[in-house]
Amino acid sequence: MLFYGTPSQSRVLSSMAIGDMTCVQRLFVEGASGEEAILTFQCIKEERLAAIYRGGGIIEEFVVENVTGEPVGEAPEQPDKRNPPEAVVSAQLRALEARDVGRVFAFASPENRAVTGPVDRFATMLSAPPYDVLMGAQELRVVRSAQLSREKFLAVVEARGTRSGDDASTPALNRAFVWSVELQVESGLWLTSGVMPAQPPPPPEGTNIPMFDL
């Protein structure tokens, strides 16, 4: 939203100093294409060499250390130009947890729906491996995301759940999926163009990072 275009409007929601060296500021931002998001800026104070009249000197100033984004409000119920790509992913994850196939399908792109639809066929696909672990999952969360371009966004989702047909005593599986969300040229909506299973590389030796089950 910031890297690929100038926001049409923004306003500060809150500011907080954490000691003398750190401050956090949250802003509401509306992108040029209408999507809305909450951005949190974490800033730290650093010493820098600055040009001063007839010489130089050391000054202290706040610089941005990192920026994180989140959707505005709860996960949306339906596609809308105000929804950023993060909100589209969130909407589908909450719908999957609730086993609401229709709502998941509503946030799919036209090309995606043409391949996986109609909704009854889409539901059948979600009830079969490897996607069955997503339906009614115990936990679905975004562990990594990236805005690849003005029109494309990727999110890696960790899913913890059981396969279709497993009983309550079956241990839960950990799976990883990659969400691809694209800005639709004609409608101006962010919609999911595809979801693919992913197997992350093994964790470094000596670390305690949970592996994903095949």
* Complete DSSP assignment for 36-93: EEEEEEEEEEEEEEEEETTEEEEEEEEEEEEEEEE-SSSPPSS--TT--HHHHHHHHH
Residue 16 banded pLDDT, cuts 50, 70, 90 = confident
* 56-82 pLDDT tens trace: 678 888 899 988 877 777 788 999 998
Query: Could you give phi then psi for residue 43, rounded to 5 degrees?
Result: -120, 145
Residue 22 banded pLDDT, cuts 50, 70, 90 = very high
The pLDDT value given to residue 131:
93
Q: How many CB atoms lie within 10 A of CB 157?
A: 23
Q: Are 89 and 142 in contact (CB under 8 A)?
A: yes
The pLDDT value given to residue 200:
52
Domains of the chain by residue range: 9-70, 85-198
Q: Which of 23-37, 51-65, 99-113 has the lowest mean pLDDT?
A: 51-65
Distance of CA 124 to the CA centre of its chain: 26
Lateral strand order in the sheet of 55-70? 9-18, 22-30, 36-52, 55-70
The topology under which CATH files domain 85-198 is Nuclear Transport Factor 2; Chain: A, (3.10.450)
Task: Give the total residue count for the chain.
Answer: 214
- Report how far residue 58's alpha carbon sits from residue 61's, in angstroms, rounded to the nearest whole number: 10
The pLDDT value given to residue 214:
37
DSSP 3-state assignment of 165? Answer: coil
- Report how far residue 108's alpha carbon sits from residue 194's, in angstroms, rounded to the nearest whole number: 8
pTM score, whole prediction: 0.71
